[in-house]
Amino acid sequence: MLRISPAPHISSKVSTPKIMWNVVIALMPALIYAIHIFGERVILLTLLSILSAMGSEYIFQKLTKREILISDGSAVITGILLSFNISPNSPWWMPAVGSAFAVFVVKQIFGGIGYNIFNPALAGRAFLTASWPSLMAGNWAAPTSGTLSGLQSQALDGISQATPLTLLKVNPTESIAQSLNSTYMLKALFFGKVGGCIGETSALLLLIGASYLFIRKYADWKISLGYIGSVFVFSGILYYIGQTPVIPLFHILSGGVMLGGLFMATDMVTSPVTVKGRWVFGIAGGIICVLIRVWGGYPEGVSYSILIMNMFVPLLDKISEKAIFGR
Amino acid sequence: MSLLTFRGGIHPPSSKEKSKNSKIKRITPPDFIYLYLSQHTGIPSKPLLEKGEEVKIGQEVAKASGKLSVGLHSPVNGVYMGTVMHPHPLGGKKEAIKIKLNEENREPFKETKRDKITDLTKQKLINIIKDKGIVGMGGAAFPTYFKLQVPSSKKIKDLIINGIECEPYLTSDYRLMMEKPEEIMKGVDVIRKIIKPENVWIAIESNKLDAFDIMKNTSSLFPWAKFVVLRTKYPQGSEKQLIDAITGRKVPEGGLPFDVGAYVQNIGTSFAIYEAVYLNKPLFERIVTVTGNLRHQSNFLVPIGTPFEHLIKLTEGPIGKISKIINGGPLMGIAQSHIDSCVAKGTSGIVVQNEKECLEKKTGPCIRCGACVNCCPMKLLPTELYKYIESDKLDKAKKMGVLSCMECGSCSYACPANIPLTQQFKIAKNRITKKGK
C-alpha cells in the first residue's frame, strides 16, 4: 500500500518542543549564575516553580480531558521565568503559587499553549505583586558571593534591602544618581553583582543566552532590539531634558529590561507575527517601561509594559499586514 | 557576495548529491507504454490510429484538438493497442494510449539535422514547436507554442531561462546543463528569435556553480546571453519570484509574466525546442531523476509513457520498503496511489520515500512563531489565513490573498507545529474558485 497525502512531503526538523527546550537552555547561564551568587535557595525556588507550573498544566489537562502536553517545555519556561522574577529571599510557596496562577489561569483557561493573551510568567509576577506587595518589592538580597566590594560605602548602604531602581524611586538625590551613573555601578550591573530578582542579575549572561536563540532563530532579535533600544533612546531623551537623573545605560542594564526585553517580550505566543508588528511591539513596550519608571508609581515598569503590549498584539498584527506580492 | 534573490523562502536540505553525478542514461524501454491523452494543460489529444496498427518511433499517435492542445508521439516501435484507463501521475485514472513494444525493431529515431534556422520565420518556428508536441517541461506542461504567442500589445523586455531547479532531490535540469549546454542555448536562441526580448538571462542557483561555468563557456557562441547566479533558496525557481529577483518587477496579482514584460521558460523546454527545431525530433522522451530511498539514484532518458515501476526496478530497487512515491519534488510533487503511474511530459522526477521519511507528524496548536509569515514568498499571512479558513470565512481568506498562494509548501515545511497550511489553502482555493463559477 502506498501512502498518499497532499504536498509537501518533507518538513523541517524544528518543532514546538524543540523551540521551547532551546529557550530553557538559553536561560541556563543566568540560572546557574543566580545559584552561584544567591546560594542553593535559588535551586529550591526554581524547582518548586517549575514543578508547580508543570503540575498545574498536568492537572488542568487531566481535568479537562485534554492531551497531556507538559513535556513540550513551555511550562518549564514559565516556571523558570517566574522564579527569575522573584527575590531570592522569597518564601518557598511564592514561586509555587505564582506559577500555578500563571499556568492555570493565564495560560490554560485561555486555551493552553498558543492561545494565551498574556505572557504567563509576567502575569504571574503581576499577580504576586498585587497579592504580596511587601514580599515582592522590599525583600532583596545582596549576592552572597562575588559581592562588589565597597558597594555599601558608595552611599548605597540600602543595597541589601533595595535594588538600585527602588533606591532611585524613593530617594532620587544627586549623590545617589551620581553613584548609579558611575562606571563602577554600570559594570556591576552588566556582570551581575547587584541585588535584584533571581534572573535579572547579569545582563551579560542574559545576552549570551538570548544570542543563542537569535542565532538559531528561536527568538526574534527585532523585538529585543526594539524594546531595549527604545528604553535606551527614550530614557536618553528624558535624561537630556532633565526628567530622569540616571543615564540611559543605567536604564537598560538595571532591573528587568534585559530579562524582559530578551526573554519575555520575545515570547512567540504573546507577540505579533509580522515584522512590522514586532518592531512596533518592542518599541512601544520600551517607551511604556520608561514612562512607568520615570513618572509611574512603581520603580520598575518592565512587566507592565510587556503585559500592556500583549493586549495590543491582535491589533498590531491587523494594522501591519504585509503587502501581498503583486497587489 | 550578495546574490540575486526574492524575500522569504526556505532552506530545505538539497538532497541532490544522491543523483547529481549520475550521467543521463537512456533506458531500455518497458514492454508497454501508456501515453495519457491528457498530459498537458488544455484539451486532451485525439487518438489517430486503429487498434492493431503498427507504430514507428516518433510517429504521431494522437493529434492536437482545439485551441490549446498538442499531439502525442510514440516513443517506441510497437503496436497500437487502443486506449485504456490508466493511473495518472496527477491523480485518478485517465484515458491513455497503450503501445506494445516491438522487441524485434529496436531502430532508433531518425533525426533530420538542420544547420541553421535563419531561413525560418517566426510562425514557422512556432508551428514546428507545436507539431512536435512541445510543452513546458518544468511540471505544468503548458503547451509551449501557445505561450510563445505573446500578445502584440505586450513587449517582452526580459527572457529568463530557468535553470534554478530549486526542488530538493531533482537533478534533471542540472544534468542537461552539464551535458548539453550548447544544445540548450540553441533552443534558447529559437525562443529569442520568436519573442525578440531585449535581454536574455540564463538563471542558475548558487548550488550549481559547475553547471553555471559550463553554460557560461558557451557565451562566445551566444554573446547575447547574460548568465546570472541566484541564491540557493526554495522556491527560487518559481516564475514570479524569479522575475522579481532578476528584474525587480512584480507580476501583479492574478496577472501573467508578460504583464511586466517578462517571459520564463525552463532548461528542459529549451532543450526540447532545440531537438524539435534542429533535429526534427518530437517530444517523446525526457530526462527523469529517479531518486530518494533507492540503491542507485539516477538520471534517466525515459520514453514518455514508461511506468514508474519500471524505472524503480532499473535503480536496483529501494532500500527497505517503499512507503511513498512522489511525482515531482518533495515540496510540490504528488503522492502516487499506484506504482504503475507513468511518466508524462511534465514528469521531471520521481522521489521514493520509506516508512520513516513519511511518518505523519502530529499537528499541534499554532505558537505564533511567525515562521510561515517570514517564509511565504507571496507575502501572505499563512497562520491568519488558516484561522479564517478553519472558521469558514472564505471571503475574508480571499481578501487576504489566499488565491495568490502558489502552493509551494514553504509554510507547511517551516511550521514547527506541523499545521497543514498549504494543504488547507489548496482546498480553500478550490472551494473559492468553484463558488465563483
Please state, in angstroms and as integers, the Cα–Cα distance from residue A187 to each residue in A26, A160, A173, A250, B310, following that order: 22, 18, 21, 10, 72
Q: How confident is the model at residue A215 (pLDDT cuts 50, 70, 90)?
A: very high
Q: Is 60 exceeded by the pLDDT of residue A158?
A: no
Q: Is 80 exceeded by the pLDDT of residue A283?
A: yes
Shortest alpha-carbon distance between residue B415 and chain A (Å)? 8
Residue type, A306: I
Segment B233-262 shows an average pLDDT of 95
Q: Select from B197, B179, B69 the least CA-distant residue to B135.
A: B69
Task: Provide CB contacts within 8 A for A122, sequence distance 6+.
Answer: A81, A85, A260, A264, A303, A306, A307, A310
Chain B residues closer than 8 Å to A219 by CB: none
Q: What is the pLDDT of residue B307?
A: 97
Q: What is the pLDDT of residue B205?
A: 96
Contact B365 A10 (CB under 8 A): no
Shortest alpha-carbon distance between residue B19 and chain A (Å)? 18
> Does B17 share its domain with B128?
yes
Chain B residues closer than 8 Å to A14 by CB: 371, 414, 416
Q: pLDDT digit string (tens) for B152-171? A: 898 999 999 999 999 999 99
What residues make up the domain containing B414?
A: 371-436
Compute, in degrees rounded to 10, the torsion defined by CA atoms A30, A307, A226, B381. 110
Shortest alpha-carbon distance between residue B240 and chain A (Å)? 9
Shortest alpha-carbon distance between residue B326 and chain A (Å)? 8
Q: What is the pLDDT of residue B319?
A: 87
- Strands of the B199-205 sheet, one edge to the other: B225-230, B199-205, B158-163, B262-266
Domain count, chain B: 2
Q: pLDDT digit string (tens) for A237-268? A: 999 998 989 999 999 998 899 999 999 999 99
Contact B416 A18 (CB under 8 A): yes
Q: What is the pLDDT of residue A62?
A: 96
Task: Provide CB contacts within 8 A for B193, sequence distance 6+.
Answer: B117, B122, B125
Q: Which of B326, B359, B392 is the last residue of a domain?
A: B359
Contact B331 A5 (CB under 8 A): no
Segment B206-228 shows an average pLDDT of 95
Chain B residues closer than 8 Å to A325 by CB: 240, 244, 250, 253, 377-379, 404
Task: Provide CB contacts within 8 A for B313, sequence distance 6+.
Answer: none
Nearest CA in chain B to A219: B369
Shortest alpha-carbon distance between residue B354 and chain A (Å)? 10
Q: pLDDT digit string (tens) for A101-127? A: 999 999 999 999 999 999 999 999 999
Q: Is 80 exceeded by the pLDDT of residue B15?
A: yes
**Which residue in the set B331, B338, B374 is minimally distant from A7, CB to CB?**
B331
The answer to whether B168 and B410 are in contact (CB under 8 A) is no
Region of A39 on the Ramachandran plot (φ > 0 left; ψ -120 to 50 alpha; else beta): left
Q: Name the 3-class secondary structure at A130.
A: helix
Contact A112 B365 (CB under 8 A): yes
Chain A residues closer than 8 Å to B87 by CB: none
> Does B298 share its domain with B191?
yes
Instruction: Return the residue in A68, A318, A325, A327 with the most chain B beta carbons within 10 A, the one to mutate for interface testing.
Output: A325
Domain assignment of residue B399, yes or no? yes
Shortest alpha-carbon distance between residue B286 and chain A (Å)? 24
Contact A9 B333 (CB under 8 A): yes
Percent helix, strand and coil across chain A, each to the nearest 5: 65, 0, 35
Residue type, A207: L
**Which residue in the set A6, A12, A323 is minimally distant from B426, CB to CB?**
A6
Domain assignment of residue B68, yes or no? no
Contact B358 A9 (CB under 8 A): yes
What CA–CA distance (Å, rounded) separates B126 from B128?
5
Contact B240 A325 (CB under 8 A): yes
C-alpha cell at A70: 507538559
CATH number reported for the structural domain that contains residue B10 in this entry: 3.40.50.11540
Q: pLDDT digit string (tens) for B279-320? A: 999 999 999 999 999 999 999 999 999 999 999 999 988 888
The whole-model pTM stands at 0.91
> Does B346 share its domain with B211?
yes
Of A27-41, A169-183, B200-214, B226-240, the one with minimum mean pLDDT is A169-183
Q: pLDDT digit string (tens) for B220-237? A: 999 999 999 999 999 999
Chain B residues closer than 8 Å to A11 by CB: 361, 412-413, 415, 418
The answer to whether A258 and A203 are in contact (CB under 8 A) is yes
Segment B12-20 shows an average pLDDT of 93
> Does B140 share its domain with B195?
yes
Q: Is 80 exceeded by the pLDDT of residue A155?
A: no
What CA–CA distance (Å, rounded) separates A167 from A133?
16
Q: What is the pLDDT of residue B361?
A: 85
Q: Enumerate helices (H) and strands (E) in chain A, giving the number of each.
A: 16, 0
The domains of chain A are located at 16-137, 157-319
Q: How confident is the model at residue A140 (pLDDT cuts 50, 70, 90)?
A: low
Chain B residues closer than 8 Å to A15 by CB: 361, 416-418
Q: Which of B336, B359, B382 is the last residue of a domain?
A: B359
C-alpha cell at B223: 554573446
Neighbours of A145 (CB within 10 A): 9
Chain A residues closer than 8 Å to B414 by CB: 12, 14
The answer to whether B410 and B368 are in contact (CB under 8 A) is no
Q: What is the pLDDT of residue A141?
A: 59
Segment A194-214 shows an average pLDDT of 91
Nearest CA in chain A to B361: A11
Q: How confident is the model at residue A145 (pLDDT cuts 50, 70, 90)?
A: very low
> Does B183 share its domain with B239?
yes
C-alpha cell at B102: 516491438
Residues composing chain A: 327
Q: What is the pLDDT of residue B115?
A: 87
Report chain B's mean pLDDT, rounded to a whole number.
94
Q: Is 80 exceeded by the pLDDT of residue B1?
A: no
Q: What is the pLDDT of residue B437?
A: 58
Segment B413-435 shows an average pLDDT of 93
Q: What is the pLDDT of residue A139?
A: 58
Please state, in angstroms and as integers, the Cα–Cα distance from residue B65 to each residue in A53, B136, B304, following that order: 68, 18, 20
Chain B residues closer than 8 Å to A279 by CB: none
Chain A residues closer than 8 Å to B402 by CB: none
Q: Is 80 exceeded by the pLDDT of residue A322?
A: no
Shortest alpha-carbon distance between residue B263 and chain A (Å)? 16
Domain assignment of residue B354, yes or no? yes
**pLDDT over 90 percentage in chain B:** 89
Contact B370 A9 (CB under 8 A): no
Report chain A's mean pLDDT, rounded to a whole number.
89
What CA–CA distance (Å, rounded) separates A187 from A195?
13
The CA radius of gyration of chain B, in Å to the nearest whole number, is 21
Chain A residues closer than 8 Å to B401 by CB: 324, 327
Domain assignment of residue B85, yes or no? no
**SS3 string of chain B?**
CCCECCCCCECCCCCCHHHHCCCCEECCCCCEEEEECCCCCCCCCEECCCCCCEECCCCEEEECCCCCCCCEECCCCEEEEEEEEEECCCCCEEEEEEEEECCCCCCCCCCCCCCCCCCCCHHHHHHHHHHCCCECCCCCCCEHHHHHCCCCCCCCCEEEEEECCCCCCCCHHHHHHHHCHHHHHHHHHHHHHHHCCCEEEEEEEHHHHHHHHHHHHHHHCCCCEEEEEECCCECCCCHHHHHHHHHCCCCCCCCCHHHHCEEEEEHHHHHHHHHHHHHCCCCCEEEEEEEECECCCEEEEEECCCEHHHHHHHCCCECCCCCEEEECCCCCCEECCCCCCECCCCCCEEEEECCCCCCCCCCCCCCCCCHHHHHCCCCCCHHHHHHHHHCCCHHHHHHCCHHHCCCCCHHHHHCCCCCCHHHHHHHHHHHHHHHHC
> Does B203 share its domain with B276?
yes
Q: How confident is the model at residue A179 (pLDDT cuts 50, 70, 90)?
A: confident
**Which residue in the set A16, A111, A278 is minimally distant from B367, CB to CB?**
A16
- Strands of the B32-36 sheet, one edge to the other: B32-36, B93-101, B78-87, B54-55
Contact A322 B381 (CB under 8 A): yes
Q: Which of B359, B391, B418 is the last residue of a domain?
A: B359
> Does B352 share its domain with B404?
no
Question: Strand B334-335 and strand B298-303: pairing?
Answer: unpaired
Q: Is 50 exceeded by the pLDDT of residue B326?
A: yes
**Which residue in the set B12, B240, B253 is minimally distant from A10, CB to CB?**
B12
Task: Provide CB contacts within 8 A for B228, sequence distance 6+.
Answer: B4, B201, B202, B203, B204, B246
Domain assignment of residue B79, yes or no? no
Domain assignment of residue B404, yes or no? yes
Instruction: Return the residue in A9, A19, A22, A223 with the most chain B beta carbons within 10 A, the one to mutate for interface testing.
Output: A9
Chain B residues closer than 8 Å to A4 by CB: 324, 335-337
**DSSP of A261-309, one letter per residue?**
IIIITT-STTS-SSHHHHHHHHHHHHHHHHHHHHHSSSS--HHHHHHHH
> Does B216 share its domain with B270?
yes
Q: What is the pLDDT of residue A135?
A: 82
Where is pLDDT greater, at A192 or B80? Answer: B80
Task: Provide CB contacts within 8 A for A16, sequence distance 6+.
Answer: A72, A74, A113, B364, B367, B416, B417
Q: pLDDT digit string (tens) for B77-116? A: 999 999 999 999 998 999 999 999 998 888 999 999 998 8
Q: How confident is the model at residue B398 (pLDDT cuts 50, 70, 90)?
A: very high
Chain B residues closer than 8 Å to A220 by CB: 370
> Does B347 share its domain with B385?
no
Domain assignment of residue B31, yes or no? no
Neighbours of B119 (CB within 10 A): 7
> Does B349 share its domain with B379?
no
Contact B12 A317 (CB under 8 A): no
Question: Strand B334-335 and strand B324-327: pairing?
Answer: antiparallel
Nearest CA in chain B to A9: B330
> Does B344 share its domain with B383?
no
> Does B126 share its domain with B254?
yes
Q: What is the pLDDT of residue B89?
A: 94
Instruction: Return the residue in B338, B362, B369, B383 with the most chain A beta carbons within 10 A, the one to mutate for interface testing.
Output: B369
Q: How confident is the model at residue A162 (pLDDT cuts 50, 70, 90)?
A: low
Of A163-167, B126-130, B146-150, the one with minimum mean pLDDT is A163-167
Burial of B224 (0-12, 13-18, 19+ CB in 10 A): middle
